[in-house]
């Protein structure tokens, strides 16, 4: 362990970059290279300012930058300490880069259990061509002109009529470019620095990134078979002023669980008692393979304007076409509209009109029936193999819908990160559990596999290779 301040003598300042940034980056590099250990105390502000011959304010700003980026933390009355981000932060980069580096020519030979490569599209392209041609014939150049920042009015009305029995106030609806943008818009619109937010543990990594970027304080509540642990949930509410609760109510990512009606009702009651709002991310509720699951989202039950509902069409329309919508309480209408405008001004007018016509002509329902038929076959094949060939290797909660299984490794001798690296060499890609937690200590023995981009042949091939590595 490096205890001497002499290590900072290697820092050479450059004129064009502010000194506090150079100091922060230098310390960050030492932490990443393990020359400064996790939890090691950093020099005092006075000590380092004297040693580097800089103003103490420069060191204060450098430490603030390190803390904001997650490379340091402060103990009141004790000083600043290094925080290692290598496991979670650096591995996220490695995971993302591994998928980005895949060439188109490589895709037919790999087994993508992550669902992130778009190697196949289960969508009737001819239907889309026909729909777009109809839109262009009907609307002409207007189809290409974006004249409403918050969405094509006919699409909003069609969504309201077909999916909500015309019960929503259409002024509260905004068309967005997918769920990720929706989470970002909501976060910018209603969260301030140091606001408290509760998330499921584990949860969608993209949401965690947004909340961290907003510098919110994140509280995690463990997920059970039918939703979060309510006892743990309420204890956090009792001790902290919570602004929001982010949840995926159906086929939660990554666990695949769906909320029971009782837990939804209780959480809505708690939202009113403790004055917080629910961000409901609904991205796969159409894909139900067993009739034990009924569709009643938080938003349907919301009587006190506590739910901000986000819906994505990306997985069930076309993956390359980012479309969705959000519904906000009137209280947040203006702030979320402003947030949307400041994010991207508008969403593709042509694709909004095409989606509207697709829904209006009932082709949407036909496609959902087709997707349910195809994905249910893959779900059953994957489930049968897991039940028969992996029962001594992993455990899981049966999702009964959606696109993923979340597996827990029984043998503690291998981590999901190591498993990812080994499988990647054999052309099989999984998503390690570490991607779904705020702490690098969690998710070490869990991983997610999906059948969104894997047909039955690839499912069998990939699971066979996976089994070999787990034995």
- Phi-psi region for residue 151, left (φ > 0), alpha (ψ -120 to 50) or beta? left
For 394, residues 6+ apart whose C-beta sits below 8 A from its C-beta are: 386, 407, 408, 409, 410, 470
What are the distances in angstroms from CA 151 to CA 132, 142, 230, 351?
Answer: 18, 14, 37, 11
Give the pLDDT confidence score for residue 403 in this predicted structure: 94
Q: Nearest-5° angle of CA 24, CA 28, CA 34? A: 150
- All residue ranges of the chain with pLDDT < 50 are 1-3, 86
Distance between CA 179 and CA 311 in Å, rounded?
Answer: 6
Residue 345: phi and psi, rounded to 5, are 65, -50
Residue with the two structure tokens 């609760």: 245
Q: Closest Cα partner for 30 from 14, 51, 11?
A: 11
Give the pLDDT confidence score for residue 5 in this predicted structure: 86
Provide the β-strand partners of residue 221: 200
Distance between CA 163 and CA 376 in Å, rounded?
Answer: 22
Give the pLDDT confidence score for residue 1 in this predicted structure: 39
Q: Identify whether the C-beta of residue 43 lies closer than 8 Å to the C-beta of residue 9.
A: no
In the sheet where 431-432 sits, what is the strand order?
394-396, 404-409, 446-450, 431-432
Q: Identify whether the C-beta of residue 103 lies closer than 8 Å to the C-beta of residue 119.
A: no
Query: Domains of the chain (ranges plus CATH)?
Result: 5-83 (1.10.10.10), 88-119+366-470 (3.90.1150.10), 140-361 (3.40.640.10)
Give the pLDDT confidence score for residue 306 in this predicted structure: 97
pLDDT tens digits for range 26-80: 998 888 777 888 788 999 999 999 999 999 999 999 999 898 877 888 877 788 9
Using DSSP's 3-state secondary structure scheme, residue 330 falls into helix
Using DSSP's 3-state secondary structure scheme, residue 217 falls into strand
């Amino acid at each position: 362990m490096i205890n001497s301040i002499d290590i900072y003598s290697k820092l050479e300042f450059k004129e064009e970059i502010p000194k506090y940034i150079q100091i922060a980056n230098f310390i960050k590099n030492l932490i990443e290279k393990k020359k400064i250990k996790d939890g090691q105390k950093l020099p005092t502000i006075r000590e380092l300012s004297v040693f580097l011959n800089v103003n103490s304010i420069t060191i204060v700003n450098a430490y603030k930058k390190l803390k904001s980026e997650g490379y340091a933390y402060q103990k009141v009355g004790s000083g600043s300490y290094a925080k290692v981000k290598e496991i979670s932060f650096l591995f996220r980069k490695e995971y993302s880069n591994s998928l980005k580096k895949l060439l188109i020519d490589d895709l037919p030979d790999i087994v993508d259990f992550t669902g992130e490569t778009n190697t196949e599209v289960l969508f009737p392209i001819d239907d889309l061509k026909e729909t777009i041609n109809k839109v262009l014939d009907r609307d002409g150049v207007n189809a290409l002109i974006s004249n409403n920042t918050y969405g094509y009015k006919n699409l909003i009305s069609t969504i309201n009529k077909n999916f909500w029995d015309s019960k929503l106030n259409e002024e509260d609806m905004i068309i967005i470019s997918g769920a990720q943008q929706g989470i970002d818009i909501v976060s910018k619109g209603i969260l301030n620095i140091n606001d408290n937010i509760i998330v499921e543990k584990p949860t969608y990594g993209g949401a965690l990134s947004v909340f961290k970027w907003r510098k919110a304080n994140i509280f995690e509540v463990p997920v059970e078979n039918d939703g979060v642990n309510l006892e743990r949930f309420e204890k956090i509410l009792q001790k902290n002023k919570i602004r929001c609760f982010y949840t995926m109510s159906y086929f939660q990512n990554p666990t695949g669980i769906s909320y029971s009606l009782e837990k939804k009702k209780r959480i809505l009651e708690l939202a009113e008692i403790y004055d917080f709002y629910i961000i409901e991310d609904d991205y796969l509720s159409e894909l139900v393979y067993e009739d034990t699951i009924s569709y009643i989202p938080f938003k349907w039950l919301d009587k006190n304007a506590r739910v901000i509902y986000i819906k994505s069409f990306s997985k069930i329309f076309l993956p390359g076409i980012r479309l969705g919508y959000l519904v906000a309480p009137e209280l947040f209408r203006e702030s979320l509209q402003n947030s949307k405008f400041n994010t991207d001004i508008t969403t593709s007018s042509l694709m909004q009109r095409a989606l509207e016509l697709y829904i209006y002509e009932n082709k949407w329902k036909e496609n959902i029936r087709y997707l349910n038929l195809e994905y249910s076959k893959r779900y059953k094949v994957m489930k049968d193999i897991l039940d028969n060939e992996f029962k001594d290797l992993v455990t899981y909660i049966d999702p009964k819908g959606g696109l993923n299984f979340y597996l827990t490794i029984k043998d503690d001798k291998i981590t999901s990160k190591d498993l990812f690296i080994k499988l990647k060499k054999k052309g099989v890609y999984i998503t390690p559990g570490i991607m779904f937690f705020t702490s690098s200590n969690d998710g070490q023995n869990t991983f997610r596999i999906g059948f969104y981009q894997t047909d039955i042949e690839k499912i069998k091939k990939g699971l066979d290779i996976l089994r070999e590595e787990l034995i």
